[in-house]
């Protein structure tokens, strides 16, 4: 029998429905679209462009990210599956022709994959894509979309934080709670507003000094340096910048009761680091549960239910979902990540059996 190549092994092991390689040598376009699971509906997730060190790195990212989208949409109760796409290459390659060609590959899938905006894809790119294919969501308001999804994302993170606070402290008030927010970009900046309104004791940090200054000028918050994070005695750490921030090194040093933030893929390894957090008695609110405000927004654009009130009211469900996940985790003595995955996968299984 012929031995599988490592690439094929990687793909088949992950249980994805389809992985589509797209290329146009003249334009220098290389993209991979990952359709992970469409049991609950069309697969949905952003396109990101990144100059990966190899095509295999791009594949790894698309496999991981599309699977996370399946879990995120399932937990959020949406009739959507999980997908994601990566364009591999230097950003300098990007122009109208390039993006239009990429969009034609999405169009060929005839709605099996709907794209949204992700890292290094601009609103202009989205408009160019929409000119070629209808399977694009997350459009600016002036183009008929629901616009920037970072506000519902921040609202969901705020509510998830409150639910975790209730679980740990017995009530959900954030008043006086010491919260460190790492990354005050689109989501972090909006989150500050909710926290300050509740008189939380907010500490912020960002590598972008202008952003930091604009926030200090506007709100009663203090700053911290990344190097100071581990010496702070915190109630809540909220990672809103980078993935991979929770690893064996940082988990050993963190001094907090709760981790609740918007950043995607916070756990460097989701089979090891969730357990390490549990062992340290830190309540980790899984990222794919707490940051689903964005997918809730683009999903409503897909089904043409263009009401921001509706998006915010569906986002409110994050509070009770966090309670469910934390309760199941303590009842079954499993990590919060395992508990969130179980709830997400059970919903998909129930739908498969119908
Ligand atoms: P953003 O790019 O607007 O903000 C990220 C901020 O983090 C920037 O201000 C950047 O300067 C800062 N940063 C980067 N590296 C840092 C470091 N080492 N230390 C401190 N700060 C650092 O992104 P965003 O839209 O606010 O999203 C934040 C996170 O949430 C990302 O991980 C994103 O993938 C995730 N997320 C966002 C949405 C959304 O709707 N925007 C939805 C789901 C998940």
Both 164 and 112 in one domain: the answer is no
CATH code of 57's domain: 3.40.50.10860
Nearest CA to ligand 1 atom 18: 207
Residues 227, 315, single domain; the answer is yes
Q: How far apart are the CA of 263 and the centre of ligand 1, in A?
A: 6
Pairing mode, strands 81-88 and 29-37? antiparallel
Whether residue 75 is contained in a domain is answered as no
Ligand 1 pocket residue status of 188, Cβ below 6 Å: yes
Domain interval for residue 57: 2-70+82-136
**Domain for residue 144, yes or no?**
no
Instruction: Judge if 204 and 126 occupy the same domain.
Output: no
Q: 343 with 200, same domain?
A: yes
**211 and 326 in one domain?**
yes
Residue 64 lies in a domain: yes
Q: Are 155 and 293 in contact (CB under 8 A)?
A: yes
Residue 76 inside a domain? The answer is: no
Q: Is 266 in the pocket of ligand 1 (CB under 6 A)?
A: no
Residue 342 shares a structural domain with residue 196: yes
Residues 124 and 160 in one domain: no
Whether residue 297 contacts residue 152, with contact meaning beta carbons closer than 8 Å, is answered with yes
Say yes or no: CB of residue 186 within 6 Å of ligand 1: yes
Protein residue whose Cα sits closest to atom 33 of ligand 1: 263
What is the 206 CA–ligand 1 centroid distance (Å)? 10
Domain presence at residue 249: yes
Does 168 lie in the same domain as 128?
A: no
Question: How buried is 136 (Cβ within 10 angstroms: 0-12 exposed, 13-18 middle, 19+ buried)?
Answer: buried
Catalytic residues: 84
Q: Say whether both 39 and 113 belong to one domain.
A: yes
- Based on the structure, what is the number of domains in the chain? 2
Classify the C-alpha dihedral 159-160-162-167 as positive or negative.
positive
Whether residue 145 lies inside any domain: the answer is no
This prediction has a pTM of 0.95
Residue 34 located in a structural domain: yes
277, 246 contact by CB (below 8 A): yes
CATH of the domain at 340: 3.40.50.720
Asked whether 119 lines ligand 1 (CB < 6 A), one says: no
Residue 270 within any structural domain of the chain: yes
pLDDT tens for the chain, residues 1 to 354? 455 567 777 777 778 999 999 999 999 999 999 999 999 999 999 999 999 999 999 999 999 999 999 999 999 999 999 999 999 999 999 999 999 999 999 999 999 999 999 999 999 999 999 999 999 999 999 999 999 999 999 999 999 999 999 999 999 999 999 999 999 999 999 999 999 999 999 999 999 999 999 999 999 999 999 889 999 999 999 999 988 899 999 999 999 999 999 999 899 999 999 999 999 999 999 999 999 999 999 999 999 999 999 999 999 999 999 999 999 999 999 999 999 999 999 999 999 976
Could you give the C-alpha distances from 259 to 168, 177, 239, 255, 282, in angstroms and in order? 12, 13, 8, 10, 7
Centre of ligand 1 to C-alpha 47, Å, is 16
The contacts of residue 325 (CB under 8 Å, 6+ apart) are 285, 286, 289, 336, 339, 340, 343
Are 30 and 107 part of one and the same domain? Answer: yes
Give which of 187, 16, 132, 8 is closest to 85, Cα–Cα: 16
Is the same domain home to 96 and 192? no
Q: Are residues 252 and 330 in the same domain?
A: yes
């Amino acid at each position: 029998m012929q031995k599988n190549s490592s690439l094929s092994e990687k793909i088949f092991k992950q249980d994805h429905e389809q992985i589509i390689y797209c290329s146009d040598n003249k334009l220098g376009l290389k993209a991979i679209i990952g359709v992970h699971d469409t049991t609950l509906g069309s697969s949905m997730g952003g396109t990101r462009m990144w100059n990966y060190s190899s095509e295999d790195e791009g594949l790894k990212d698309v496999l991981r990210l599309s699977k996370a989208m399946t879990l995120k949409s399932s937990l959020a109760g949406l009739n959507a599956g999980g997908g994601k796409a990566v364009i591999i290459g230097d950003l300098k390659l990007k122009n109208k022709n390039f993006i239009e060609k990429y969009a034609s590959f999405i169009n060929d899938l005839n709605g099996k994959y709907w794209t949204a905006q992700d890292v290094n894809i601009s609103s202009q790119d989205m408009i160019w894509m929409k000119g070629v294919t209808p399977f694009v969501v997350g459009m600016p308001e002036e183009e008929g979309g629901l616009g920037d999804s970072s506000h519902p994302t921040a609202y969901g993170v705020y509510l998830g934080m409150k639910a975790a606070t209730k679980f740990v402290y017995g009530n959900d008030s954030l008043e006086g709670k010491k919260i460190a927010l790492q990354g005050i970009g689109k989501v972090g900046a909006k989150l500050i507003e909710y926290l300050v309104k509740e008189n939380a004791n907010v500490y912020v940090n960002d590598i972008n000094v202008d952003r930091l200054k604009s926030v200090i000028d506007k709100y009663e918050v203090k700053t911290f340096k990344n190097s100071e994070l581990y010496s702070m005695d915190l109630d809540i750490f909220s990672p809103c910048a980078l993935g991979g921030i929770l690893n064996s090194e940082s988990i050993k040093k963190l001094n907090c009761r709760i981790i609740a933030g918007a950043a995607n893929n916070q756990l460097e390894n989701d089979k090891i680091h969730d357990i390490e957090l549990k062992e340290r008695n830190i309540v980790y609110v899984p990222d794919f549960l707490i940051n689903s405000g964005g997918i809730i927004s683009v999903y409503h654009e897909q089904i043409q239910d263009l009401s921001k009130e509706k998006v915010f009211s569906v986002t409110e469900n994050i509070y009770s979902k966090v309670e469910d996940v934390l309760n199941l985790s303590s009842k079954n003595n499993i990590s919060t990540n395992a508990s969130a995955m179980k709830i997400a996968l059970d919903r998909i299984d129930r739908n498969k059996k119908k």
